[in-house]
A and B are shown apart, each in its own frame.
Chain A
Amino acid sequence: MAAYIVKRLLAMIPTLLGITLLTFLIIKLAPGNPVSLKMQGGEGLKAGQVSQEATDQMLKLYGLKVDLPPEYEAWIGRWTERIHGSDPKDPPHFTRRALKWLGENAIQYKIWITGLAQLDFGRSFKDRRPVLTKIAEALPITLTLNLIEIFLVYFISVPLGVYSALHRESILDKVIMVLLFILYSLPDFWVATLLLMYFAGGDHLNWFPLMGFMSEGAQTYPFWMKLGNIAWHLILPVTVMVYGSFAFLSRFSRANMLEVIRQDYVRTAMAKGLPRRKVIWRHAFRNSLIPLITIMGALLPALLGGSVIIEQIFSIPGMGKLGFESVLARDYPTIMAISTISAVLTLLSLLLADLAYVWVDPRITFRARQE
């Protein structure tokens, strides 16, 4: 067991390197860079109006412009010549540009990964605050939101699934299925705007606040009032997050339950005269929960990832909103930090799910299959 865990943990390292490298290259490929976006957006200037020098200086400050070692420059020159026959520096061949880009990004990636080794995610390009602080602010908000969501979803959809399985093909089973599919197919942004309009818009029912995680100044409220304030803010977003997830989970637990009910040991339990209720809840239901653990493995990253759309619509300053805004602003350090953290957590939760699997089901072992 311990050997297995160590092996898995070691296997994570190359995966993580792969993930961060790929993310790094992809965000670098996206058009626009933080400097040009900032200059355009912030001061209403066109790209051409900012002098090349100022841009270069900013890029240097952000660590986005690095000097290539002369050996590498010479190497690029040789290769470009070998491929194209000549090596003009201005305008450069595609090969030269591509190799230069790769070299520059390799150096930047090396700098980034050295920082990561010291748990330093750098500072955000947008407001120069440490990325970790920004994440530490956003994470509790998303966590609260998602924990409530997950609790509600499981609490409602697992019993629904069990009921549907026990009354398969009954009218109510079909009604539940269609209702859940209806809920699933309503796009969340649409429902969110409808809810905002009817329950928070002011024209109709002004029951809930339009946006945010808590009222301004609610930080200083006494505990219960603060809790109430947060709950009041979260009712609409949580409703939107929850309704679409019922379908999948309840169908899943229905399928599991159906699988288990047909097993011999359930028939045996019935045959020896145990009360039906006991057979269902003690024998069948418990075993039907095993596959739910696999799903749990996928939960942790979702817990931290946050929902972009919902946090955007309700202006909740969580991880989803932070991530989305960083992508728009090409705030590379923040994007990298978020994706690294979520990757680590995903890998860990995959491992945890596998371990939990063995823990609940002794029939499974980690030993290699016998050929």
Chain B
Amino acid sequence: MVEEKDNPPDEAEVEEEQLDLVAAPQTPQGPSEEILVPRYWSMVRGQFNRRFLNRVGLAIILTMVVVALLAPFLANGTPVFVKHQSQIYFPILQTIWPIKKLNLYPELKEVSYKDWEKKGAEVYYTLVPYSYDDYDLNSILMPPDSYHWLGTDEQGRDVLSRLIHGSRISLAVGIVAVAIYVLIGMFFGSLAGYFGGTVDMAVSRLIEIMICFPTFFLILTLVAVLPPSPFYIPLAIGFTGWTGIARLMRGEFLKLRDQDFIVACRAQGMKNRRIIWRHIMPNAISPILVSATFGVASAVLIESSLSFLGFGVQPPTPSWGDLLSQSREFMDIAWWLTIFPGIAIFLTITSYNLVGEGLRDAIDPKLRN
């Protein structure tokens, strides 16, 4: 086969990691295990942190994840804290999913907090005091001001709040899709690379079949077949995107399976499962990590394209792609509707790409000086 010659073995990298892995079992409980095994990753981290842009990218990604996780506490139309007639409430808890079920404050169902505020109650809101589906027909298409920091859309919904909640869908789609296809790809790739022969033949044919599918059509069809739900888009992307990872994994396994340290494992009578998981996988994982980082970026883009074609998540749940495609009608009169979601998508994708690029350089032993 030709593909095997694709990547000549990275001698330096293999030797280095081999050293870690072979050295570790020799001193099973000793301190040297702790020193030797994590050394590789701390070295990668050091290499990664040397470039300023990598750190910026990582910081942006972490911020996005925190924002997505805390979305209901950052942008919510329900107050966080209310003190009314010396009674203390935390109404925000009622809007958050698992607590919603408990029905903490049945007496607050029909309450208008605005009226309470007028009567002298203490009402404190979140940073962005609007939910993503709080429409207000009195303030349609308002440009950014001190109330709506990023303006409002055609139904008077707060753009910032929709962006914050949209980050949940967009990031979840990206991360879940990539997790699915990394798992599938690792499974098939490692099988093909390790066992070779008939298994390799079968898996290679399967990969060829998947590559030949027009991926975008496959996603469209899958999304059309499955009932509309935000969970199916990452599923569709995941089931179509795994071939790259599988090929990568197969190559790594082919490269590693005949190395001396694996032969040594086999000579000791280790089971295949143990060899694959404990000895080959740790050595093959780093290129997968890089590929996955880039994958998240492209999954976010695919999600927004799907939303644009009308196959995205169902309203009123906002996703960035959705916000962007809805803004097209008002592009002429409401620039804030298209600029801010565009910036959000752009920032996310750029950060993932920067981090992926940084990781690749940090992992590559030949670029170390």
Contacts and interface: CB of A to CB of B under 8 A. Distances in A.
A309 B357 contact: no
A158 B218 CA distance: 31
Given A181-B354, A187-B342, A258-B367, A19 B5 contact: no
Contact of B225 (A18, A26, A305, A308): A26
Nearest to B216: A308
Contacts of A50: none
A1 interface: no
A226 to B, nearest CB: 30
Given A19-B213, A187-B304, A30 B221 contact: yes
A181 B304 CA distance: 17
Interface string B179-215: 0000000000000000000000000010011011110
Contacts of A259: 366
Contact of B325 (A188, A189, A354): A189
Nearest to B324: A190
Contacts of B304: 187, 189
Nearest to B338: A190
B305 A29 contact: no
Contacts of B353: 181, 184-185, 247
A89 interface: no
A335 B216 CA distance: 13
A190 to B, nearest CB: 5
Contacts of A23: 213
Given A177-B357, A190-B338, A185 B346 contact: yes
Nearest to A354: B2
Contact of B221 (A305, A327, A338, A364): A327
A353 B129 CA distance: 57
A330 to B, nearest CB: 9
Contacts of A203: 332
A29 B225 contact: yes
Interface of B is mostly: helix
B259 to A, nearest CB: 15
Interface in A300-328: 301, 305, 308-309, 312, 323-324, 327
A30 B301 contact: no
B321 interface: yes
B357 A15 contact: no
A357 B4 CA distance: 12
- Interface size class on chain A is 35 or more
A27 interface: yes
Interface residues of B, number: 47
A301 B215 CA distance: 11
Contact of A327 (B6, B220, B346, B350): B220
A359 to B, nearest CB: 11
Contacts of A343: 212-213
A369 B4 contact: yes
Given A181-B354, A186-B346, A308-B309, A30 B208 contact: no
B62 interface: no
Nearest to A307: B216
B346 A182 contact: yes
Nearest to B360: A255
A323 B216 CA distance: 10
Given A27-B221, A174-B53, A185-B350, A346 B211 contact: yes
A365 to B, nearest CB: 9
A26 B331 contact: no
A267 to B, nearest CB: 14
Given A26-B218, A181-B354, A19 B4 contact: no
Interface string A237-278: 000000000010001000000110010000000000000000
B209 A30 contact: no
Contacts of A335: 217
B224 A15 contact: no
B113 interface: no
A339 interface: yes
B335 to A, nearest CB: 10
Contact of A187 (B1, B301, B347): B301
Interface in A324-370: 324, 327, 335, 338-339, 342-343, 346-347, 350, 354, 357-358, 363-364, 366, 369
Given A262-B366, A366-B2, A31 B225 contact: yes
A187 B324 contact: yes
Given A182-B346, A247-B353, A15 B208 contact: yes
A116 interface: no
A58 interface: no
B348 to A, nearest CB: 8
A240 B144 CA distance: 29
B4 A338 contact: no
Contacts of B208: 15, 347, 350
Contacts of A342: 212, 214
Most chain B CB within 10 A, of A181, A187, A309, is at A187
Interface of B: 1-6, 53, 205, 208-209, 211-214, 216-218, 220-222, 224-225, 297, 301, 304-305, 308-309, 321, 324-325, 328, 331-332, 338, 342, 345-350, 353-354, 357, 366-367
Interface of A: 11, 14-15, 18-19, 22-23, 26-27, 29-31, 174, 177-178, 181-182, 184-190, 193-194, 197, 201, 203, 247, 251, 258-259, 262, 294, 301, 305, 308-309, 312, 323-324, 327, 335, 338-339, 342-343, 346-347, 350, 354, 357-358, 363-364, 366, 369
22 contacts: A15-B212, A18-B205, A18-B209, A30-B224, A178-B53, A181-B357, A185-B297, A185-B301, A185-B347, A185-B348, A187-B342, A189-B324, A190-B342, A194-B338, A323-B214, A327-B217, A327-B221, A335-B217, A350-B208, A354-B3, A357-B5, A366-B2
Given A190-B342, A323-B217, 11 more contacts: A15-B205, A19-B213, A26-B218, A187-B301, A187-B305, A187-B321, A188-B305, A324-B217, A327-B220, A327-B221, A342-B214
